[in-house]
Structure 1
Amino acid sequence: MIYTTSGVGSVRRWIRGWPAATAVAVVALSGLLLLALVACGAGTGRLSGPSDADEVTGSAGLGGAPATTETSGTGPADGGHTGSGGNGGGDSGNDGAEPEPEVTPAAEDCVGYDPANLSVTQQGDAWLMRDGNHAIKLFATSLDAQDGVKVARNWTQICYIGRGNERADRRRYIVTYFQGPSGLPLGLAPSFDCTAYDPAELAVHEPDGDGWSLRAGQTSLLVLDDAADAERARLVAAGNTRLCLIGRDNDEPDPARYQLEYWRQ
Protein backbone atom coordinates (compact mmCIF):
# COMPACT_ATOMS: atom_id res chain seq x y z
CA MET A 1 0.00 0.00 0.00
CA ILE A 2 1.28 3.50 -0.87
CA TYR A 3 0.83 6.33 1.62
CA THR A 4 0.89 9.85 0.21
CA THR A 5 0.32 12.09 3.25
CA SER A 6 3.05 13.43 5.57
CA GLY A 7 0.99 12.46 8.59
CA VAL A 8 1.29 8.85 7.64
CA GLY A 9 5.12 9.16 7.65
CA SER A 10 5.01 10.39 11.27
CA VAL A 11 2.91 7.42 12.23
CA ARG A 12 5.47 5.08 10.65
CA ARG A 13 8.35 6.68 12.65
CA TRP A 14 6.20 6.33 15.76
CA ILE A 15 5.51 2.67 15.07
CA ARG A 16 9.24 1.96 14.56
CA GLY A 17 9.74 2.81 18.23
CA TRP A 18 7.34 0.00 19.33
CA PRO A 19 8.30 -3.58 20.01
CA ALA A 20 8.17 -5.71 16.86
CA ALA A 21 5.10 -7.75 17.92
CA THR A 22 3.11 -4.62 18.75
CA ALA A 23 4.00 -3.02 15.45
CA VAL A 24 2.86 -6.08 13.51
CA ALA A 25 -0.46 -6.12 15.38
CA VAL A 26 -1.09 -2.43 14.66
CA VAL A 27 -0.35 -2.90 10.96
CA ALA A 28 -2.68 -5.92 10.78
CA LEU A 29 -5.52 -4.02 12.47
CA SER A 30 -5.03 -1.10 10.10
CA GLY A 31 -5.33 -3.44 7.11
CA LEU A 32 -8.56 -4.97 8.46
CA LEU A 33 -10.01 -1.51 9.04
CA LEU A 34 -9.25 -0.48 5.46
CA LEU A 35 -10.85 -3.68 4.07
CA ALA A 36 -14.00 -3.02 6.11
CA LEU A 37 -14.25 0.54 4.77
CA VAL A 38 -13.92 -0.70 1.16
CA ALA A 39 -16.62 -3.32 1.68
CA CYS A 40 -19.04 -0.75 3.13
CA GLY A 41 -18.47 1.57 0.19
CA ALA A 42 -19.18 -1.19 -2.32
CA GLY A 43 -22.41 -2.20 -0.52
CA THR A 44 -23.64 1.38 -0.54
CA GLY A 45 -23.09 1.54 -4.29
CA ARG A 46 -25.36 -1.49 -4.91
CA LEU A 47 -28.29 0.00 -3.00
CA SER A 48 -28.23 3.32 -4.80
CA GLY A 49 -27.21 2.17 -8.28
CA PRO A 50 -29.29 1.97 -11.48
CA SER A 51 -30.52 -1.59 -10.76
CA ASP A 52 -33.37 -0.12 -8.64
CA ALA A 53 -35.01 1.28 -11.76
CA ASP A 54 -34.64 -2.08 -13.53
CA GLU A 55 -36.45 -3.85 -10.69
CA VAL A 56 -39.36 -1.39 -10.80
CA THR A 57 -39.68 -1.84 -14.57
CA GLY A 58 -39.70 -5.58 -14.11
CA SER A 59 -42.49 -5.51 -11.54
CA ALA A 60 -44.59 -3.22 -13.70
CA GLY A 61 -44.01 -5.61 -16.58
CA LEU A 62 -45.69 -8.63 -14.96
CA GLY A 63 -48.41 -8.27 -17.55
CA GLY A 64 -45.82 -7.95 -20.26
CA ALA A 65 -45.23 -4.16 -20.45
CA PRO A 66 -44.47 -1.10 -18.30
CA ALA A 67 -47.45 0.31 -16.44
CA THR A 68 -47.66 3.42 -18.60
CA THR A 69 -48.06 1.28 -21.75
CA GLU A 70 -50.82 -0.88 -20.22
CA THR A 71 -52.93 2.04 -19.08
CA SER A 72 -52.79 3.66 -22.52
CA GLY A 73 -54.89 0.80 -23.99
CA THR A 74 -53.02 0.90 -27.30
CA GLY A 75 -50.22 -1.00 -28.96
CA PRO A 76 -49.15 -4.63 -28.72
CA ALA A 77 -49.13 -4.54 -24.91
CA ASP A 78 -52.92 -4.95 -24.94
CA GLY A 79 -52.64 -8.52 -26.23
CA GLY A 80 -50.25 -9.51 -23.45
CA HIS A 81 -52.29 -7.75 -20.76
CA THR A 82 -55.42 -9.75 -21.55
CA GLY A 83 -54.05 -13.04 -22.81
CA SER A 84 -50.60 -13.80 -21.32
CA GLY A 85 -51.78 -14.45 -17.77
CA GLY A 86 -48.97 -12.26 -16.37
CA ASN A 87 -46.12 -14.69 -17.10
CA GLY A 88 -42.86 -14.18 -18.95
CA GLY A 89 -42.73 -10.37 -18.76
CA GLY A 90 -41.25 -9.76 -22.22
CA ASP A 91 -43.72 -11.79 -24.33
CA SER A 92 -46.81 -9.62 -23.87
CA GLY A 93 -47.43 -9.19 -27.60
CA ASN A 94 -46.68 -12.85 -28.33
CA ASP A 95 -48.38 -12.92 -31.73
CA GLY A 96 -48.61 -9.19 -32.46
CA ALA A 97 -52.03 -9.68 -34.08
CA GLU A 98 -54.57 -6.88 -33.92
CA PRO A 99 -58.09 -7.92 -32.79
CA GLU A 100 -60.50 -8.35 -35.67
CA PRO A 101 -62.91 -5.44 -36.05
CA GLU A 102 -66.45 -6.05 -34.88
CA VAL A 103 -68.89 -6.49 -37.75
CA THR A 104 -72.06 -4.41 -37.62
CA PRO A 105 -75.03 -6.61 -38.58
CA ALA A 106 -77.16 -5.54 -41.52
CA ALA A 107 -80.20 -3.52 -40.54
CA GLU A 108 -83.48 -5.39 -40.21
CA ASP A 109 -85.60 -5.33 -43.36
CA CYS A 110 -89.13 -6.37 -42.37
CA VAL A 111 -92.61 -6.04 -43.91
CA GLY A 112 -95.79 -6.30 -41.84
CA TYR A 113 -98.92 -8.21 -42.88
CA ASP A 114 -102.25 -9.35 -41.45
CA PRO A 115 -101.83 -13.04 -40.52
CA ALA A 116 -105.60 -13.54 -40.42
CA ASN A 117 -105.95 -12.38 -44.01
CA LEU A 118 -103.48 -14.74 -45.71
CA SER A 119 -104.51 -16.62 -48.84
CA VAL A 120 -103.02 -18.54 -51.79
CA THR A 121 -103.76 -17.76 -55.43
CA GLN A 122 -102.38 -19.32 -58.58
CA GLN A 123 -100.17 -17.11 -60.70
CA GLY A 124 -99.20 -18.73 -64.01
CA ASP A 125 -97.41 -21.97 -63.16
CA ALA A 126 -96.73 -20.83 -59.58
CA TRP A 127 -98.70 -20.13 -56.39
CA LEU A 128 -98.63 -16.85 -54.52
CA MET A 129 -99.08 -16.35 -50.78
CA ARG A 130 -100.63 -12.95 -50.21
CA ASP A 131 -102.26 -10.64 -47.68
CA GLY A 132 -105.19 -9.18 -49.62
CA ASN A 133 -103.56 -7.36 -52.54
CA HIS A 134 -100.12 -7.58 -50.95
CA ALA A 135 -97.93 -10.32 -52.47
CA ILE A 136 -95.72 -12.00 -49.87
CA LYS A 137 -94.06 -15.08 -51.37
CA LEU A 138 -94.11 -17.14 -54.57
CA PHE A 139 -93.99 -20.95 -54.42
CA ALA A 140 -93.52 -23.66 -57.03
CA THR A 141 -96.44 -25.83 -55.81
CA SER A 142 -99.78 -25.37 -54.10
CA LEU A 143 -98.62 -27.63 -51.24
CA ASP A 144 -95.55 -25.42 -50.60
CA ALA A 145 -97.77 -22.31 -50.62
CA GLN A 146 -100.16 -23.86 -48.08
CA ASP A 147 -97.21 -24.73 -45.83
CA GLY A 148 -96.06 -21.13 -46.19
CA VAL A 149 -99.45 -19.92 -44.90
CA LYS A 150 -99.30 -22.35 -41.95
CA VAL A 151 -95.99 -20.85 -40.87
CA ALA A 152 -96.74 -17.19 -41.67
CA ARG A 153 -100.06 -17.10 -39.76
CA ASN A 154 -98.10 -17.42 -36.50
CA TRP A 155 -96.33 -14.10 -37.10
CA THR A 156 -97.00 -10.52 -38.18
CA GLN A 157 -93.80 -9.63 -40.09
CA ILE A 158 -91.70 -11.29 -42.75
CA CYS A 159 -88.07 -10.16 -42.76
CA TYR A 160 -85.36 -10.36 -45.39
CA ILE A 161 -81.58 -10.62 -45.18
CA GLY A 162 -79.64 -9.62 -48.29
CA ARG A 163 -82.52 -8.27 -50.33
CA GLY A 164 -80.32 -5.43 -51.61
CA ASN A 165 -77.47 -7.60 -52.92
CA GLU A 166 -76.46 -7.06 -56.55
CA ARG A 167 -75.17 -10.50 -57.50
CA ALA A 168 -76.18 -12.10 -60.77
CA ASP A 169 -77.93 -14.91 -58.85
CA ARG A 170 -79.15 -12.52 -56.16
CA ARG A 171 -82.05 -14.65 -54.89
CA ARG A 172 -79.61 -17.30 -53.73
CA TYR A 173 -78.28 -14.78 -51.21
CA ILE A 174 -81.65 -13.65 -49.83
CA VAL A 175 -82.81 -15.28 -46.58
CA THR A 176 -86.23 -14.90 -44.94
CA TYR A 177 -87.40 -15.15 -41.34
CA PHE A 178 -90.49 -14.17 -39.34
CA GLN A 179 -90.99 -12.12 -36.21
CA GLY A 180 -93.76 -10.55 -34.14
CA PRO A 181 -95.94 -13.41 -32.78
CA SER A 182 -99.55 -13.10 -34.00
CA GLY A 183 -101.24 -14.67 -30.99
CA LEU A 184 -103.59 -16.60 -33.30
CA PRO A 185 -104.54 -20.14 -32.24
CA LEU A 186 -102.09 -22.72 -33.51
CA GLY A 187 -103.24 -24.13 -36.83
CA LEU A 188 -102.17 -27.22 -38.72
CA ALA A 189 -98.42 -27.83 -38.75
CA PRO A 190 -96.57 -27.59 -42.06
CA SER A 191 -94.44 -30.39 -43.45
CA PHE A 192 -91.24 -29.70 -41.54
CA ASP A 193 -87.97 -29.84 -43.47
CA CYS A 194 -85.43 -28.60 -40.94
CA THR A 195 -81.72 -28.75 -40.12
CA ALA A 196 -80.97 -28.94 -36.38
CA TYR A 197 -77.90 -27.18 -34.98
CA ASP A 198 -76.30 -26.08 -31.71
CA PRO A 199 -76.55 -22.26 -31.33
CA ALA A 200 -73.33 -22.29 -29.27
CA GLU A 201 -71.42 -23.49 -32.34
CA LEU A 202 -72.58 -20.75 -34.72
CA ALA A 203 -69.81 -18.96 -36.58
CA VAL A 204 -69.43 -16.79 -39.67
CA HIS A 205 -66.77 -17.86 -42.17
CA GLU A 206 -65.15 -15.68 -44.81
CA PRO A 207 -65.77 -16.43 -48.49
CA ASP A 208 -63.97 -19.33 -50.11
CA GLY A 209 -64.92 -18.83 -53.74
CA ASP A 210 -68.49 -17.99 -52.72
CA GLY A 211 -70.37 -15.78 -50.29
CA TRP A 212 -69.96 -15.53 -46.52
CA SER A 213 -71.17 -18.72 -44.85
CA LEU A 214 -72.99 -19.30 -41.58
CA ARG A 215 -72.06 -22.61 -39.98
CA ALA A 216 -72.73 -24.47 -36.75
CA GLY A 217 -69.67 -26.64 -36.23
CA GLN A 218 -69.34 -28.70 -39.40
CA THR A 219 -72.94 -28.01 -40.46
CA SER A 220 -73.32 -25.43 -43.24
CA LEU A 221 -76.54 -23.46 -42.82
CA LEU A 222 -76.56 -20.46 -45.17
CA VAL A 223 -74.52 -18.50 -47.71
CA LEU A 224 -74.79 -14.71 -47.50
CA ASP A 225 -73.66 -11.84 -49.71
CA ASP A 226 -71.42 -10.05 -47.18
CA ALA A 227 -70.22 -10.05 -43.58
CA ALA A 228 -73.02 -7.74 -42.36
CA ASP A 229 -75.72 -10.04 -43.78
CA ALA A 230 -73.99 -13.07 -42.30
CA GLU A 231 -73.86 -11.42 -38.88
CA ARG A 232 -77.58 -10.60 -39.04
CA ALA A 233 -78.31 -14.24 -39.91
CA ARG A 234 -76.13 -15.38 -37.00
CA LEU A 235 -78.09 -13.19 -34.57
CA VAL A 236 -81.40 -14.62 -35.78
CA ALA A 237 -80.09 -18.19 -35.70
CA ALA A 238 -78.70 -17.73 -32.16
CA GLY A 239 -82.23 -17.59 -30.73
CA ASN A 240 -83.28 -20.86 -32.36
CA THR A 241 -82.14 -24.45 -32.89
CA ARG A 242 -83.53 -25.36 -36.34
CA LEU A 243 -83.36 -23.78 -39.77
CA CYS A 244 -86.30 -24.89 -41.90
CA LEU A 245 -86.98 -24.60 -45.62
CA ILE A 246 -90.12 -24.78 -47.71
CA GLY A 247 -89.63 -25.68 -51.39
CA ARG A 248 -86.18 -27.24 -51.07
CA ASP A 249 -86.68 -29.72 -53.93
CA ASN A 250 -88.47 -27.51 -56.46
CA ASP A 251 -87.20 -27.94 -60.03
CA GLU A 252 -87.72 -24.40 -61.28
CA PRO A 253 -84.93 -22.74 -63.35
CA ASP A 254 -84.36 -20.29 -60.44
CA PRO A 255 -85.06 -22.55 -57.42
CA ALA A 256 -84.09 -19.98 -54.76
CA ARG A 257 -86.97 -17.76 -55.89
CA TYR A 258 -89.47 -20.40 -54.74
CA GLN A 259 -87.91 -21.28 -51.40
CA LEU A 260 -88.85 -19.87 -47.99
CA GLU A 261 -86.56 -20.08 -44.96
CA TYR A 262 -87.77 -19.84 -41.37
CA TRP A 263 -86.40 -20.71 -37.94
CA ARG A 264 -87.77 -22.82 -35.11
CA GLN A 265 -86.68 -23.15 -31.49
Structure 2
Amino acid sequence: MINSLQANLQKLRASAPLVHNITNFVVMNFTANALLAVGASPVMAHATEEVEDMVSIADALVVNIGTLSLQWVEGMKLAMKKAAQLGKPIILDPVGAGATPYRNSVLAELLETASPTIIRGNGSEILALAGASVQTKGVDSTADSTDSIGAARVLSKRFGAVVSVSGAVDVIVHGSRIGWVSNGVPLMTKVTGMGCSASALAGAFAAVCPDPFEAAVSAAATMGVCGELAFRNAKLPGSFQIAFLDTLSEISPAHLQELSKIRLE
Protein backbone atom coordinates (compact mmCIF):
# COMPACT_ATOMS: atom_id res chain seq x y z
CA MET A 1 0.00 0.00 0.00
CA ILE A 2 2.86 2.42 0.77
CA ASN A 3 4.08 2.13 -2.83
CA SER A 4 0.55 2.87 -4.01
CA LEU A 5 0.44 6.01 -1.87
CA GLN A 6 3.62 7.27 -3.47
CA ALA A 7 2.38 6.49 -6.97
CA ASN A 8 -0.99 8.11 -6.33
CA LEU A 9 0.59 11.35 -5.12
CA GLN A 10 2.80 11.41 -8.21
CA LYS A 11 -0.20 10.79 -10.49
CA LEU A 12 -2.20 13.51 -8.78
CA ARG A 13 0.51 16.09 -9.31
CA ALA A 14 1.16 14.99 -12.87
CA SER A 15 -2.48 15.27 -13.92
CA ALA A 16 -3.73 18.12 -11.65
CA PRO A 17 -7.34 16.81 -11.61
CA LEU A 18 -10.19 19.31 -11.58
CA VAL A 19 -12.17 18.78 -8.39
CA HIS A 20 -15.66 20.29 -8.34
CA ASN A 21 -16.63 21.28 -4.80
CA ILE A 22 -20.09 22.15 -3.59
CA THR A 23 -18.99 22.99 -0.10
CA ASN A 24 -19.72 25.36 2.77
CA PHE A 25 -18.96 29.04 3.25
CA VAL A 26 -16.83 28.41 6.34
CA VAL A 27 -14.17 26.30 4.61
CA MET A 28 -14.34 27.29 0.95
CA ASN A 29 -11.08 29.25 0.86
CA PHE A 30 -9.08 26.78 2.94
CA THR A 31 -10.35 23.81 0.94
CA ALA A 32 -9.43 25.46 -2.35
CA ASN A 33 -5.95 26.27 -1.05
CA ALA A 34 -5.49 22.71 0.22
CA LEU A 35 -6.34 21.30 -3.21
CA LEU A 36 -4.02 23.73 -4.94
CA ALA A 37 -1.23 22.94 -2.49
CA VAL A 38 -1.41 19.18 -3.01
CA GLY A 39 -1.41 19.64 -6.79
CA ALA A 40 -5.07 19.48 -7.79
CA SER A 41 -7.22 22.15 -9.43
CA PRO A 42 -10.26 23.29 -7.41
CA VAL A 43 -13.49 24.83 -8.58
CA MET A 44 -16.26 25.97 -6.22
CA ALA A 45 -19.58 26.09 -8.06
CA HIS A 46 -23.05 25.57 -6.61
CA ALA A 47 -25.46 27.45 -8.90
CA THR A 48 -28.14 25.15 -10.31
CA GLU A 49 -27.67 26.83 -13.69
CA GLU A 50 -24.12 25.50 -14.10
CA VAL A 51 -23.42 22.54 -11.83
CA GLU A 52 -24.19 19.92 -14.47
CA ASP A 53 -21.87 21.61 -16.96
CA MET A 54 -19.15 21.92 -14.32
CA VAL A 55 -19.42 18.26 -13.35
CA SER A 56 -19.10 17.37 -17.02
CA ILE A 57 -15.63 18.89 -17.23
CA ALA A 58 -14.50 17.94 -13.69
CA ASP A 59 -12.67 14.78 -12.69
CA ALA A 60 -14.43 14.35 -9.35
CA LEU A 61 -17.30 15.87 -7.35
CA VAL A 62 -17.15 16.68 -3.63
CA VAL A 63 -20.46 17.47 -1.89
CA ASN A 64 -20.22 18.97 1.60
CA ILE A 65 -23.45 19.90 3.43
CA GLY A 66 -21.90 22.18 6.05
CA THR A 67 -24.01 25.28 5.27
CA LEU A 68 -27.32 24.36 3.69
CA SER A 69 -29.88 26.27 1.66
CA LEU A 70 -32.65 25.12 -0.67
CA GLN A 71 -30.86 26.28 -3.81
CA TRP A 72 -27.60 24.62 -2.78
CA VAL A 73 -29.39 21.36 -2.08
CA GLU A 74 -30.93 21.43 -5.55
CA GLY A 75 -27.49 22.08 -7.00
CA MET A 76 -26.07 19.16 -5.04
CA LYS A 77 -28.74 16.80 -6.36
CA LEU A 78 -28.27 17.91 -9.95
CA ALA A 79 -24.51 17.58 -9.67
CA MET A 80 -24.62 14.14 -8.04
CA LYS A 81 -27.07 12.83 -10.62
CA LYS A 82 -24.89 14.09 -13.47
CA ALA A 83 -21.69 12.70 -11.93
CA ALA A 84 -23.35 9.30 -11.51
CA GLN A 85 -24.46 9.34 -15.15
CA LEU A 86 -20.91 10.14 -16.26
CA GLY A 87 -19.29 7.60 -13.92
CA LYS A 88 -17.29 10.24 -12.06
CA PRO A 89 -16.27 9.83 -8.39
CA ILE A 90 -18.65 11.37 -5.87
CA ILE A 91 -17.41 12.19 -2.37
CA LEU A 92 -20.07 13.00 0.24
CA ASP A 93 -19.15 14.79 3.47
CA PRO A 94 -22.23 14.56 5.75
CA VAL A 95 -21.24 17.49 7.96
CA GLY A 96 -23.34 17.62 11.13
CA ALA A 97 -25.37 14.52 10.31
CA GLY A 98 -27.73 13.87 13.21
CA ALA A 99 -27.68 17.48 14.43
CA THR A 100 -31.07 18.52 13.00
CA PRO A 101 -34.02 16.84 11.24
CA TYR A 102 -33.52 19.08 8.20
CA ARG A 103 -29.88 18.05 7.83
CA ASN A 104 -30.89 14.39 8.05
CA SER A 105 -33.64 14.79 5.47
CA VAL A 106 -31.25 16.49 3.04
CA LEU A 107 -28.79 13.63 3.39
CA ALA A 108 -31.58 11.13 2.72
CA GLU A 109 -32.48 13.04 -0.47
CA LEU A 110 -28.87 13.13 -1.65
CA LEU A 111 -28.36 9.43 -1.02
CA GLU A 112 -31.53 8.65 -2.96
CA THR A 113 -30.24 10.76 -5.86
CA ALA A 114 -26.94 8.91 -6.30
CA SER A 115 -24.73 6.56 -4.33
CA PRO A 116 -21.45 8.19 -3.32
CA THR A 117 -18.12 6.66 -4.23
CA ILE A 118 -16.67 7.72 -0.87
CA ILE A 119 -18.48 8.87 2.27
CA ARG A 120 -16.08 10.72 4.57
CA GLY A 121 -17.03 12.01 8.00
CA ASN A 122 -16.35 11.84 11.71
CA GLY A 123 -17.59 9.09 14.00
CA SER A 124 -20.82 10.79 15.03
CA GLU A 125 -21.72 11.66 11.44
CA ILE A 126 -21.19 8.12 10.22
CA LEU A 127 -23.23 6.67 13.09
CA ALA A 128 -26.08 9.13 12.43
CA LEU A 129 -26.00 8.50 8.69
CA ALA A 130 -26.36 4.78 9.33
CA GLY A 131 -29.45 5.43 11.43
CA ALA A 132 -28.01 5.23 14.93
CA SER A 133 -29.31 7.53 17.63
CA VAL A 134 -26.39 9.83 18.36
CA GLN A 135 -26.03 12.86 20.59
CA THR A 136 -24.16 15.35 18.45
CA LYS A 137 -22.40 18.61 19.27
CA GLY A 138 -23.12 20.70 16.20
CA VAL A 139 -20.62 19.57 13.59
CA ASP A 140 -18.16 18.16 16.14
CA SER A 141 -17.94 14.44 16.82
CA THR A 142 -18.92 12.93 20.15
CA ALA A 143 -17.92 9.43 19.01
CA ASP A 144 -14.54 7.92 18.28
CA SER A 145 -13.82 6.61 14.80
CA THR A 146 -13.45 3.07 16.12
CA ASP A 147 -16.94 3.26 17.65
CA SER A 148 -18.44 3.64 14.20
CA ILE A 149 -16.89 0.67 12.38
CA GLY A 150 -20.16 -1.25 12.44
CA ALA A 151 -22.03 1.77 11.07
CA ALA A 152 -19.37 2.21 8.39
CA ARG A 153 -19.83 -1.41 7.31
CA VAL A 154 -23.60 -0.90 7.12
CA LEU A 155 -23.22 2.19 4.92
CA SER A 156 -20.60 0.53 2.72
CA LYS A 157 -22.90 -2.43 2.10
CA ARG A 158 -25.99 -0.26 1.58
CA PHE A 159 -24.44 2.11 -0.95
CA GLY A 160 -21.44 0.18 -2.24
CA ALA A 161 -19.30 3.07 -1.05
CA VAL A 162 -15.99 3.40 0.69
CA VAL A 163 -16.59 4.88 4.14
CA SER A 164 -13.72 6.90 5.61
CA VAL A 165 -14.09 7.83 9.27
CA SER A 166 -11.78 10.46 10.71
CA GLY A 167 -10.47 10.38 14.26
CA ALA A 168 -7.32 9.85 16.28
CA VAL A 169 -7.04 6.80 14.03
CA ASP A 170 -8.75 7.10 10.66
CA VAL A 171 -10.74 4.01 9.72
CA ILE A 172 -11.50 3.25 6.06
CA VAL A 173 -14.05 0.54 5.25
CA HIS A 174 -15.10 -0.97 1.92
CA GLY A 175 -17.01 -4.23 2.11
CA SER A 176 -14.75 -6.70 3.88
CA ARG A 177 -11.70 -4.46 3.51
CA ILE A 178 -10.63 -2.20 6.36
CA GLY A 179 -7.69 0.16 6.70
CA TRP A 180 -6.33 1.96 9.75
CA VAL A 181 -4.34 5.19 9.34
CA SER A 182 -2.67 6.28 12.58
CA ASN A 183 -1.14 9.57 11.41
CA GLY A 184 -2.05 13.07 12.53
CA VAL A 185 -1.87 15.31 15.60
CA PRO A 186 -4.59 16.56 18.02
CA LEU A 187 -4.07 20.17 16.92
CA MET A 188 -5.74 19.32 13.60
CA THR A 189 -9.09 19.27 15.45
CA LYS A 190 -8.56 22.94 16.43
CA VAL A 191 -8.44 24.25 12.86
CA THR A 192 -11.71 24.71 10.99
CA GLY A 193 -11.82 22.95 7.65
CA MET A 194 -9.42 20.09 8.24
CA GLY A 195 -12.12 17.45 7.83
CA CYS A 196 -13.59 19.23 4.84
CA SER A 197 -10.15 19.42 3.25
CA ALA A 198 -9.74 15.69 3.90
CA SER A 199 -12.90 15.10 1.88
CA ALA A 200 -11.62 17.34 -0.91
CA LEU A 201 -8.32 15.45 -0.98
CA ALA A 202 -10.27 12.19 -1.17
CA GLY A 203 -11.87 13.63 -4.30
CA ALA A 204 -8.50 14.54 -5.77
CA PHE A 205 -7.07 11.08 -5.16
CA ALA A 206 -10.26 9.37 -6.39
CA ALA A 207 -9.89 11.31 -9.63
CA VAL A 208 -6.54 9.64 -10.37
CA CYS A 209 -6.90 6.28 -8.61
CA PRO A 210 -9.39 3.70 -9.95
CA ASP A 211 -9.62 1.96 -6.57
CA PRO A 212 -11.67 4.23 -4.25
CA PHE A 213 -10.51 2.36 -1.13
CA GLU A 214 -6.90 3.07 -2.08
CA ALA A 215 -7.82 6.69 -2.85
CA ALA A 216 -9.43 7.15 0.56
CA VAL A 217 -6.42 5.64 2.35
CA SER A 218 -4.10 7.86 0.30
CA ALA A 219 -6.04 10.98 1.28
CA ALA A 220 -6.15 10.06 4.97
CA ALA A 221 -2.44 9.25 5.10
CA THR A 222 -1.48 12.42 3.24
CA MET A 223 -3.54 14.56 5.61
CA GLY A 224 -2.12 12.85 8.68
CA VAL A 225 1.52 12.94 7.60
CA CYS A 226 1.19 16.61 6.65
CA GLY A 227 -0.28 17.33 10.07
CA GLU A 228 2.67 15.68 11.79
CA LEU A 229 5.22 17.53 9.67
CA ALA A 230 3.48 20.88 10.12
CA PHE A 231 3.35 20.42 13.88
CA ARG A 232 7.15 20.25 14.04
CA ASN A 233 7.27 23.99 13.35
CA ALA A 234 3.82 25.29 14.37
CA LYS A 235 2.24 24.62 17.76
CA LEU A 236 -0.75 27.01 17.68
CA PRO A 237 -3.85 26.90 15.42
CA GLY A 238 -3.18 30.02 13.32
CA SER A 239 0.41 29.23 12.43
CA PHE A 240 -0.43 25.54 12.11
CA GLN A 241 -3.00 26.23 9.39
CA ILE A 242 -0.41 28.02 7.27
CA ALA A 243 2.24 25.41 8.02
CA PHE A 244 -0.18 22.67 7.01
CA LEU A 245 -0.81 24.24 3.59
CA ASP A 246 2.92 24.72 3.08
CA THR A 247 3.53 21.09 4.00
CA LEU A 248 0.85 19.89 1.58
CA SER A 249 2.75 21.69 -1.14
CA GLU A 250 6.10 20.24 -0.09
CA ILE A 251 5.18 16.68 0.86
CA SER A 252 6.95 14.08 -1.23
CA PRO A 253 6.42 10.39 -1.95
CA ALA A 254 9.44 9.79 0.29
CA HIS A 255 7.63 11.44 3.21
CA LEU A 256 4.69 9.09 2.75
CA GLN A 257 6.99 6.08 2.56
CA GLU A 258 8.84 7.06 5.72
CA LEU A 259 6.01 8.35 7.92
CA SER A 260 2.74 6.66 6.89
CA LYS A 261 1.30 4.41 9.59
CA ILE A 262 -1.15 2.14 7.81
CA ARG A 263 -2.54 -1.23 8.77
CA LEU A 264 -4.80 -3.22 6.45
CA GLU A 265 -7.16 -6.09 7.27
TM-score by length of 2: 0.23
Structure 1 or 2: more helix by fraction: 2
Structure 1 or 2: more strand by fraction: 1
Larger radius of gyration: 1
Give the structure, 1 or 2, with the largest relative contact order (CA under 8 Å, sep 6 or more).
Answer: 2
